Structure 1
């Protein structure tokens, strides 16, 4: 489920269309709750109606899209209970992947992860929502892919597909991007310190989750529905 890096002509149209639409969802091009027409998606992707419908079917099954009766789709807004479930699952899986990756990292691998973080910094400086979300994904999964744990990595990718669209608030809720702990993670990688790496990744995840919780809390207050329940 890595971001689309293949030229469309090298993949079957249905797979290329699925990956492009998945990336639109994951990297914030479709705001949670925003309804868009299937025809509009087809025009944006420059794809046929059949592969677009198939991509929507797959993403709906994965919980990343909601299909409405009026030929529109939307990225679901997370509920408080869904945020807590995703938080629990991410904090269970991703630190473990980081620990496994630390045992297999090479200097060249660390260099590659650092270059991805530098590209992410460029997107942050430019205030590019899609660039930030894509760069953040690439940083984390460049590390997790090293772990050699394909089942855990696949489960984590599914969690990101549901959670990542809500990370738009990290860039847009107050006009600034919250700090991440990527530099601390990189320092731990260079030092070969697995515990420090796990701590940095866990802290980085918690920062994003806390920003999503805070945004949802404010949305519920504006709607007169009360506050979020205490986190686990």
Structure 2
């Protein structure tokens, strides 16, 4: 039985946009497993909605490389190989390092305080073992930082990478305590306060390495036996 996380429907959001947002969120937090196969009818039944907005949402998600359209109204979540994983993680480091560097001149103390509050919530999610909330808050932390740059163009590409990593990340997140021994967000906040661009980019790269890269490599090695 498919279990998609709930997502509040705000204001006058169309059915099409709501379906897209809910499916996108489910993939990004890893609620759908890699290599799983879904159907339009199954998704429509799960969400209590007609197939039409499902089809449009899936078309949009396919353009973001979050899913593969197989035909016969079937959809697959792409699997992960060591080569694909290395490519996606390398792209994430490059994109997010660039976005952080470009955002730094626009970061205010008010924004830093907001980031610190999100980081505090993340600490609570780790203690509670609520990894869906941890993933959501982690994305919120990084998104808030990168969009400090009013001219940024990187977020669509960054969120596409998050989508591609989401299903696999659910598999490896159980190892977060083993690898995430240093709170890299604290290092990010320190670099922002000190206006140290080099330290900021290093902290972003270390955050990605500790947050998913090392654990992901371990899981993939175990899969290969």
What TM-score, normalized to structure 2?
0.86
Normalised by the length of structure 1, the TM-score is 0.84
What do the CA deviations read for 1:169-208 (whole angstroms, capped 9, x no partner)? Answer: 3423x48464241111112212222221111101111222
**Alignment CA distance shift 1:10-1:195 (3 Å):** same
1:109 to 108, 111, 131: 111
For 2:67 and 2:31, locate their aligned partners in 1 and report how far apart those are by CA, in whole Å: 13
Contact 2:44–2:54 (Cα < 8 Å) also in 1: yes
Correspondent of 1:214 among 215, 218, 223 = 218
- Residues 22-47 of structure 1 show CA distances to partners (whole Å, capped at 9, x for unaligned) of 00000111121223333332233333
Give the count of matched residue pairs.
217
Structure 2 CA distance for aligned equivalents of residues 218 and 190 of structure 1: 40
Rounded Cα–Cα distance in structure 2 between residues aligned with 1:44 and 1:149: 39
Check the 8 A contact 2:44/2:51 in 1, yes or no. yes
Change in 2 beyond 3 A, CA 1:188/1:5: farther
- Any idea what the Cα deviations from partners look like across 1:79-134, whole Å, max 9, x if unmatched? 22211221222222211211122111001111111111122222222212211211
Conserved? CA contact 1:93–1:156, under 8 Å:
yes
**2: CA distance, partners of 1:19 / 1:95:** 26
The equivalences for 1:93-104 within 5 A come to 93-104=95-106
* Cα distance in 1, alignment partners of residues 153 and 188 from structure 2: 23
Tell me how far apart the structure 1 counterparts of residues 100 and 176 of structure 2 sit (CA, whole Å). 30
Report the 3-state secondary structure (helix = DSSP H, G, I; strand = E; otherwise coil) of the residue aligned with 1:67: strand
